Amino acid sequence: MPFIGVAIAAAVGLPAIAGTLINIGLAVGLSFVSRALTGAASATSNTGIQTTIELGGDVPRGCVFGETGTAGQLLYANTANENNNLLQMVFAIGEGPHDDLTRIWVNGKARTLTLVEETTWHKKFRVGGFVAKNGTPLLYVYFYRGYQDQPVCQELVDWAKPSTRWTSTDRLAGVSYAVVSAFYGDSAFDSGIPRFLFGVRGRRLYDWRLDSTNGGSGAHRWTDEKTWTFSANPIVHLYNFERGLYLNGELVVGKGTPPVDLLLPHYTAGANACDEPVSTVEGSDANRYVCATVVSADEEYGSVIERILETCAGSMYDRVGANGPIVGVPQTVTYPTITDGDLVLGRPVKFTAKQGRDSLVNGIFGTYVKPEDQYAQVSYPAQTDSAAEAADTEIRRTQTDFEAVPVCSQAQRLAKIKLRLSRLQATATITLGFRAIVLEPGDWVRWNSARFGDRTYIVLSVKQAKDQTVTINLREIAASAFSWTTADQLPTPVAGEENDGGGLANGVTAFSLLAITMVGDAGAVTPAVRVFWSPISDPTVTAVLIQYRIVGSDDVLTARAEAVGAGEWVVSAGLVADTAYEFQATIETAPVRETVWTSWVGVTTGKQLASGVVPNSITPEQMTAATR
């Protein structure tokens, strides 16, 4: 039926976009490094995408950084033409000039975009898959970039009902928006008002490296948005957020930090590091680090900064009132090697070689944003450390979701960096003479100590005393934590098999087993089996159920693994050494639906004999929990 009586048309009207909100937040210090040390997950308040349409006039201002997905804010709906068979909808994308519309999904299905018209201010696309029987296209979308001098969309004026609903003065100056024009025809849109998701290359930003008047080379000028260009660089995002983005002199997104308080050399070094290419199995990532996120004006500053820094393993440092970032690449040690003879006599030396057991991490799993799947959060391959597992004598996983990372290999690199940093556990506090006054937070130093070993550290803080001594807090770091080769990259995981009921998983895939032994503190060896499957991102899957039994036995034991995105679990309860077992697995879902078990897969547990253990005896570790 035609688009008649669109309920939202009169209700939505043309509300004004909400005014600027005051942000309350603090700059993030040592963010990535600190979380890597503790194994803590990030605590951001937003995600890289906005897939739900926002309604009403009280929606906070915001914009898109990088390329990601948004459903936009519905500003206006109108029906016109004969029998009301034309539907017009206007969706606000963000504040200020945005670069381009790159993808579109209609009712959850990807559609092609064919450029029909382009000006400085807008583009018009024909959307594929919606054609009348006579060949007439039925769906178009206009993308207005969001410049303050952009003209009105004349089609909205021409079809407005009544004519005063959209006039020549309704330019949405300074707002990037999409206009959808859908003509009802035959079977097109027979399900009613269509749903849209837009893939957007986001905010055009100022890059000081492209400004010949600010130490760079190029035509960028802070005072002229027309000279700005699109950037996916996290540090370019950070710089623009720090300085703030304005509309007619009003701060709409960001902090409004004076440029004198931004350490430009640190921003330049960080931005350049993000732009470096990185080798991958597929060829190479054009950039080491990219960021893709929707930033809202009602978010705390710290949440936005942390989300941006998370995409580049970065940290922010405050140096005498000014701030600057350091991204996840090795730094050069320039300060002379510190020896025990450089320490100030009589001042306490604090050194800790290892963190508490509750801080140990030997594996990281989580999700990243996949553009091809409507910017859904899907699992990246879990990053694990078998040597660390042996040292810890147990599996210790933590989840880190990279909510603004749109590249699987980048998510893997970030997880690997975080895992390696978490294993560098030494911390220290030492006091040096006055020459150490040149040290600043974020610097790397080498301390070759006869007592505590030869290690590289990052300076966490510097404090100068009245007697001209300098006390520095250190934590262990290494260039190897940031290394990456194609051999480190794991295949992009595929979530569980799809059934015919809407793409939900009905079982596990890539099911395999590996017999291992676990060594306790007293030297006793316990047989165990590591169970593997393809990490599952289906949100309705609550656990992986694992059944196992001795070959030929009817006595079946069950294990339940809730970390379905980790792709692995260790089973040890009830296992007997040097014995043939078989395992099978399926999934547990909410709500409950029919699932399938894998076929039985065989494995033989290892022999069990350790120093201090009498042959043919049994240790408490060998008993089941119930027996103990």
Closest CA to 91 of 128, 36, 145, 54: 54
Whether 530 and 570 have beta carbons less than 8 Å apart is answered as yes
For residue 9, give the H/E element and its range.
helix 7-12
Distance CA 70, CA 56 (A): 16
Distance CA 624, CA 628 (A): 6
Closest CA to 225 of 151, 152, 296, 149: 149
At the fourth CATH level, the homologous superfamily of domain 512-622 is Immunoglobulins (2.60.40.10)
Identify the DSSP state of 340: G
Structure tokens at 142: 């206009």
Mind listing the pLDDT tens digit for each residue in 372-402?
989 988 888 889 998 998 888 888 888 899 9
Task: Give residues with Cβ within 8 angstroms of 60, minimum separation 6.
Answer: 18, 21, 296, 297, 298
Distance CA 247, CA 95 (A): 8
Sequence length of the chain is: 628
Provide the 3-class DSSP secondary structure of residue 452: coil
Cα distances from 322 to residues 206, 259, 266, in angstroms, run: 20, 9, 11
481 φ/ψ sector (left φ>0, alpha ψ -120 to 50, else beta)? alpha
96 φ/ψ sector (left φ>0, alpha ψ -120 to 50, else beta)? left
Distance CA 603, CA 546 (A): 14
Distance CA 254, CA 240 (A): 7
Distance CA 127, CA 129 (A): 7
Sign for the pseudo-dihedral over CA of 207, 209, 212, 215: positive
Residue 624, pLDDT score: 65
**CA triplet 605, 609, 614: central angle to 5 degrees?**
135
Place of tokens 């040690």: 333
56 φ/ψ sector (left φ>0, alpha ψ -120 to 50, else beta)? left
What DSSP line would sit under 124-181, residue for residue? EEEETT-B-TTS-B-EEEEEE---TTPPP-HHHHHH-SSGGGS-TT---TTEEEEEEE
Residue 541, CB half-sphere, CA atoms under 13 Å: how many? 28
CA distance between the termini of the chain: 69
Crossing angle of helices 31-38/408-423, nearest 10°? Answer: 60
* Residue ranges for the chain with pLDDT beneath 50: 4-31, 38-45, 495-503, 610-613
Point out which residues pair with 432 in neighbouring strands: 343, 470
Distance CA 197, CA 193 (A): 13
Place of tokens 């004519």: 163
Structure tokens at 372: 């091809």
Q: Are strands 444-449 and 338-339 parallel, antiparallel or unpaired?
A: parallel
Residue 30, pLDDT score: 43
Domain ranges across the chain:
7-21+49-203, 205-326, 338-486, 512-622
**CA triplet 542, 547, 550: central angle to 5 degrees?**
165
